[in-house]
Structure formats: structure tokens, C-alpha cells
Structure 1
């Protein structure tokens, strides 16, 4: 049974903040409705993880941020994460966007890449058409509360038949635990378009940082024949609770690719799902995670097949050390009428400590006969025979273990589409593994 917690916002405070930011009336109405819904709905109830025991209401308050002229004004460690970004870059600091860049060539093609708050003012009809169409406000307390407090965020729209060759990037970071950090991402790829979007979600706090909860929701709409590749890396301090819901609707012959690095140090709720609505639509999801210290994680990846001839593939690989615990769920659901569909999933957990715990739960829900579906799951320690083999080649035991772990995680790491981001992921893996 879920735990009811007080809601840290109300209709009046949300309305006043929306008006102070000059938001359109329709968005103010959406926000106030979200605050009202949050009073009556319950928090999500993930499998075997009691998030009601977490401090979910430490969301801080809205704090304006000064804009910057370029990524060169970012702190050095963050500047590296922004990379070159020749196609486009959006930076959010705490409660607000501080930098928005898009190449003139893409702008001329009709691509829109900006923060979601700006898009709601400048492209209101387009945003209103798609916002909350994938994840409705009234799904649970988290979705309702986030619809009331979200800030900054990302809006990416790619017009029909436009292919964006270079990845578009976002840097979403928090360095003030008293400021609300609740980005919302909305990606719309029109018919037969193609785009790669990559974001880094990070924190930079002092040693005595107080607890804070980050909420983020991602909605992706893939129109017929479109292809979206969505890559994200989460790397925040252990004082921060990360609540993230990602969901995509994929129409006829569309494709969504998820590449997720959940390398956060604090408690984590990560739920990623593809809704394969259209005939011939496909989904490919790759998730990597490392649990350390006393971290608790709920990692769920899912695909729901509605259309005929749809395909989904999900791979989750997690490494658990110290006293960390993780519940890893893979859910493949094939609805009645989704004939000739194929859903495959693999969850693998590597245990590095006898006190760590990792549960891999493959779930198949099949309501149609003429389909293919399969799963594989394993939880185990580093194979001693592999270590012995490498040591027989002159490699030390420590280096042998490291090589095996990196090889275990490689199927996800190699999929990161931007070299600097891939290198960053490698550094994060080394940091979490070495402690």
C-alpha cells in the first residue's frame, strides 16, 4: 500500500508563480489542475521498493537564474559535458534555462530546439497539442505534482522529412539544493524525420548538501516512419532522489531507441516504456546502472505492443556493490490483435558484494497467439574461470575483474552516439566501480 505524503504546493502558489513568469493562460490552468490532483492521488508503487519512505517532498522552491552567452561561461567540469554541440545545445541550471543554441541550418528547416517554458510561450499551439499526450497528469501523485512544478525543460520538434544528422544536446544541472529542479522533456518527430537527442543530468553540490528530490518526465512522440534516438546519463550526488519517468508513443513504422545510463548515487526510480501503437513500429532499449553504498533503485523497462508486426528489444545490465539494492523489471506486453509481434528482453545483474542485492524480474504478458516473445535473466558474481583465464595471460586479478566488468557493461556503453559523452560514461563507470 502506498504512503500518502503532504503536497508541498497548492493551487494558489502554483498560479502565482505561473503568472510571475508570464506563462500563457492555458499552461497556468494545467499547472493549477496538477496541484489539485496531487492532493488526492497516491505515489507510484514500484515492485518491492517502498518509495513512500523516501523524502519525496523536498523539492525546494523556484529560483530565477541568470542567462549565459555561451557554454564557455559554464564551470570547467560542466563545460566538458556540453561538448562542441555544433547542432544545438540547451542548458538548464536549477529552476530555469540559461542557454539556448540551434544552428541556423536546422532553424531554417523548421527544427525547434529550446526549453519547454519558452516553447510554451512562442509555440503554444504546438506544445499544447502534444504536452501530456503520452503521460497524462492524473496517472499518479508524481505525474500530477510534476505537471504543476516542472521548470526549464526541453522541447524538440523535427518537421516532416527532416533528418538531423548531428546530435542535439542538453545539459541539465543542479548546484543549489534549495532550488526546484524538475525538468520536463517533450520530443516530437514528425513523419519520416530522424533525430538523435542526448542529455546529461548532473549535480554539483558541496559536501554538506541537504536532501533534495528531482522529478523529471520525458514524453516522446514518434510519427509514422520517424526515428528517434534518445540517450541520457544521470549522475547526481547521493543527497538527491531521482524520480524519472520516460515514455514514447511510436506510430506506423516508427522507431525509438533508448540508451540510458542510470549512474546516479542516490535513491532512484527509473521507469522507461515504449508504446508501440503503429503497425511495424519498433523499440530498442539499453539500460546500464551501478549501485553503490546503501543506494536503493527501482529500474523498470517496458514495451507494450498494440500494432501488428511490432518489435521490441530490451537489455538491462546492472552492477551492484557495497550494500546497494536494485529491483530490475523488464515488462513485455503484447495486446490482443498485435499479431506477428516479437518482444525480447534480457536483464543481467553482476554482484560484487555479498551484502548487495539485485533482483531481475522478466515479465511477459501475452494476449495474442501468433507472436514471438522471450526473456533471459541472470544474477551472479564475476566468473572465477574468466578471472583465472586472464590471470594466466599475465593480467593481475584486480585488472582482470575490471576488464570483465567493463565487458559486461560494453553493450550499452558502445551505443552512446557522441564520443565525449561516451568518454564521460566511461569515467563515471570507473569512479563508481572504484568507489
Structure 2
């Protein structure tokens, strides 16, 4: 991890850059995949799965027998843990349900807004080197609570053409309706355009690598909604003298092991804090099964020293991290100034890993600085809102003349007429 000492503000945009592939190559490669899927459907999916996942898949859809086998293969201990996490996630998201509240804006003019589920949604679950069954819970549970009629899940197969058993267990637990053995940008294309096997959906959810994220952005051009740009994972940890170096190191490594293009940022207020944390990183990384991935991720990661607290907070808001851990004194004072972050973890005993799995909050979050404008997935992500209005005779008489005047000023006489004929009808009674 490179160290930057009180960097001036003009360097912050560069320090906030995430590792990424050459954009021109990424764009063209993903467009090619999407075009193949749009043109050739299932046959393109099989070809691309063989090309990228090195496995031949005849039946793209997971069968009921495969799901039942997966349930048997998932240990009782893991099933119990998944159910506990699911319960917490359901509690948190169920609390987000809102009642429709009619508002009388003018006597006789009643307006309200109603939440309606998106009928067909697709969820993408990364399943390559790390099968993220936890993401099934994060997306499947709010989809069920919202009342989505069809929930399509795509995830890449392993070398034997199978889906991780815990992914399948979680999928049937939360009520996913159809599961397919397709990963990468081609899975996004399949859900966006539909194929012989995979139905077209109205909105696509889920994190993924840069190819998946780019595919989600590109299918938006064809009118398919997405949750947010959710690419390679990242964390920013703020630490001071009150921090435990072992805790800080573990939090940094928990994100670094996600992938080579993940990024971790450490913000400290004293140079003396850096050495103990780096020592802990060296100690802990030696025991990680994904050591090589974490080491390559750390190459793209940074330690930034800010002796001025206000500058440190301003940098955090400029970086807009997916995950923010505030492991300092005066947490309340700092967190009140944070405006850009996907999810925030407060204090020594709130590791980001807890939010990834079981606290109840959603771990599908905006990355790459998109937390400046996007929120993480929530119950309302699976719904749309329809507005309604109903006017009585009293209402049209009160508000009609105002609309007549405004429509005439905009030279939209048809709009004025729609009101005028009603007013004239009432006046002639």
C-alpha cells in the first residue's frame, strides 16, 4: 500500500481513481458479448460459457432435482446460519414498507402515491472464485417482500457444470422462481433481451466484476433498468489511536480478498499508526487462502495521512466509498459530516463483514464513487411508485381556473380546453 502524506486537494481526484481495465477494450468486449446473446440466444450462451467458464452446459436451467441435491449437500450448520441471516435481512427490509398516505392539496383535490412491485426482476450472483450465496439473500428477500411475480437468478457454473449448493439452498429459501447456469456479461444480456430459455426481465440487480458492471450500464441503453453501478468491492477505513491495529488490518484484508481489482483505503491522523497496521496485514495475510488475490489488490490500495480532521472527512466524501468503517474517537461528530458512502460501520466492533452477511442491511451497494448519487439496494428498489389524483366538483371548480391560466400562458390551448369544458358543464347546471 502506497503512503500519501497530507495530499493537497488537487490530487484527490487522482487518489480516488479505482483500478480498471482499458475502457475502450472493456466497452468493445462487452458490446460484442451482448450482441452475440441478442442475436443467437441460448446457443451464444453455451458458446460463451465454454469460452469463459471452460465447461459445456446443455441444460441452462437448474432442475428441481439439482436443487434438492443442493439442499442435502448444504450442512445443517450452514443452513441454520443462512436462515438466521435471512431472518435479520427480512426484519430490516420489512421495516421499510410504507403506507400510502392520501393528501388533500386543495379542498376537493386528493393525491396519493402507491408502491407497486416490479413484475419481473433478474438477480446476478457472482459465483466464480467466491460463490456469493449471501447476495441471494440480499436480493431475493426484498424481491419477495415487494411482491415481484418472477425472480430470475443467473450465476456462473463451476468446472463440473454445477452451481454452488449454498447458492441453490439460499435461492429456494427466499423464493427465487428460476435459476440458470450462466455468468458474466452474457448473463446480463440474457436477462435484458431474453433467450429461448431465459425470460426477459424489467430490472437487473446484483454486483459483479467490471465486465458485468459494464454490461449492466450498456443494457440500460436498450431500456432495461438496473439497480446501480455495483462493480469491484471497496472499503475505506478511518483509524486513530483508539483503533485496534489487528481489527483494522482484518477489515482491509476482508475487502482485498474479494478480487484483484478491489481497492482498500486507510485514512489515519498520525504517521505512527501506519507501521502497526502494516505489520498486522503482513501477519494476517500469510494465513489467507486467497493471499495471492489480496496481495495484488493491495498494490492498488493506499494509506492516506491527514493531520487535519476536516480534510480527512472531506476526502472521504470525495472518495465516496462503497463501505466506510469509522474506527475512531468522536464517531458521532465524524459520521454527522459524512454525505457520500454506501454503508457505514461504526466503532471497533462493527466489521464490514457483518454487514456483508447477517446484520440485516443490504450489501449490494454503489461502488466507484457512485455513492455520491446512488443508494444501496432497499425494498423500494424492487418497486415503482404510481401517483394518483381524484377531484370532486368542488376540486375542479377551485383549481380549474388556475390551470386554465397556466395552460394559456404556455400556449397549450388543448390543456386549457380539458379543464374549461368541465367548468362550463358545472356552471350550466
> TM-score w.r.t. structure 2 length?
0.30
Q: Which has the higher contact order (CA 8 A, sep 6+)?
A: 2
Normalised to the residue count of structure 1, the TM-score between the two structures is 0.29
Task: Work out which of the two has the higher radius of gyration on C-alpha atoms and give 1 or 2.
Answer: 2
Q: Which has the higher helix share?
A: 2
